[in-house]
Amino acid sequence: MVIMATTSSLTYLPVLERIAEEVDRTPGRGRPADYIPALAACDPRRFGMAVAELDGTVYGVGDWRQPFSTQSITKVFTLALDLAREGDELWEHVSREPSGNPFNSLVQLEYENGIPRNPFINAGALVVTDRLQTRTGDAAGELLTFLRAESGNPELDFDREVAASEATHGDRNAALGHFMASYGNIDNPVPVLLDQYFRQCSVAASCADLALATTFLARHGIRADGTRLLTRSQAKQVNAVMLTCGTYDAAGDFAYRVGLPGKSGVGGGIIAVVPGRCTLCVWSPGLDERGNSVAGVAALDGFTTLTGLSVF
């Protein structure tokens, strides 16, 4: 069941194996997201977990090489790509405070005049995508290029069926887009923005791919090819936003249990960063009522408990 990628990666493998066994024994695993068919069809018994070290070594257990729908996980990469381009100006258009409300809420957006609480709620991610689109002309393409480069996987791609399905069920995001546009906080036409956004959400990638693509955050901003994407300070800042805002309305609980910067998606994936050490990606499609993978959170909880690698 375990596949070792390199000999140097022995350190955490027994930990991953023990976690996989533990997960395997656990009955309830939540329910897959059901708002689009492609997600609803996922088997909640699937489970994979990967660790990527700073040198690019990656290894894992279970379905760690199986591509799944990344969904909101890509918000981290879009944020980094835009932050690298425009720097702190971004924060005039999106805040970086945790949201006390569910991830789609329009309430806070209205009380705060169209400025989303943070870049990881849908409204905030739309703003970040809009800004990256303005700067690059192809936000989704930039994302894809980046993910392929960092993961070393040239076959990583959008899932066109998922993107089309998101568009069909996209009224809430359309509402968010138009609502922020009414406050002057969206530059591109809303349909263009939504197309870019849904393509980003549709990226299919494996735990291995995502753990590797996240390593620049554990390396304080340095990409796989040794070039710098973010300053040391910006990398720290992205980690901070992940920790306080990365898991919808459960950020406090995630920090409490796991104690690592992390970002989840409704496809059942979660990425996490141990700054200066390694990155993790776990996948299991069954979600809790707050939209986070049940087995995924449990696995990360187990990892920090067994290794003592929490930031706290």
Give the annotated binding-site residues for substrate: 72, 122, 166, 173, 197, 248, 266
Cα 118 to Cα 241: distance, rounded to the nearest angstrom:
8
Name residues whose C-beta falls within 8 Å of residue 279's C-beta, 6 or more positions apart in sequence: 51, 52, 211, 212, 214, 215, 217, 218, 271, 272, 273
DSSP secondary structure, 1-50, as one string? --B-S-GGGGTTHHHHHHHHHHHHH-----B---SSHHHHTS-TT--EEE
Q: Kindly state the smallest distance separating residue 135's Cβ from a copy of itself, in Å.
A: 22
Task: State which residue, 177 or 291, has the beta carbon closest to a copy of itself.
Answer: 177
Q: Kindly state the smallest distance separating residue 38's Cβ from a copy of itself, in Å.
A: 19
Annotated binding site: 72, 122, 166, 173, 197, 248, 266
Share in percent of the chain as helix, strand, coil (round to 5): 50, 10, 35
Q: Kindly state the smallest distance separating residue 169's Cβ from a copy of itself, in Å.
A: 8
Strand bridging mode 262-264 / 269-274: antiparallel
Using CB under 8 A as the criterion, which residues of the chain lie in contact with a copy of itself when the complex forms?
95-101, 105-108, 110, 117-118, 171-172, 174-179, 181-182, 190, 233, 235-237, 239-241, 243-245, 249-253, 255-256, 259, 261, 275, 305, 310-312
Task: State which residue, 96 or 199, has the beta carbon closest to a copy of itself.
Answer: 96
Residues acting as catalytic residues: 72, 75, 197, 248, 266
Reference 212, options 107, 65, 105, 79; nearest CA is 65
The 10 Å Cβ neighbour count of residue 155 is 10
Alpha helices in 87-220 (DSSP H): 107-111, 122-136, 139-151, 160-168, 171-182, 190-201, 207-218
Q: Kindly state the smallest distance separating residue 16's Cβ from a copy of itself, in Å.
A: 21
Task: State which residue, 78 or 95, has the beta carbon closest to a copy of itself.
Answer: 95
Task: State which residue, 88 or 225, has the beta carbon closest to a copy of itself.
Answer: 88
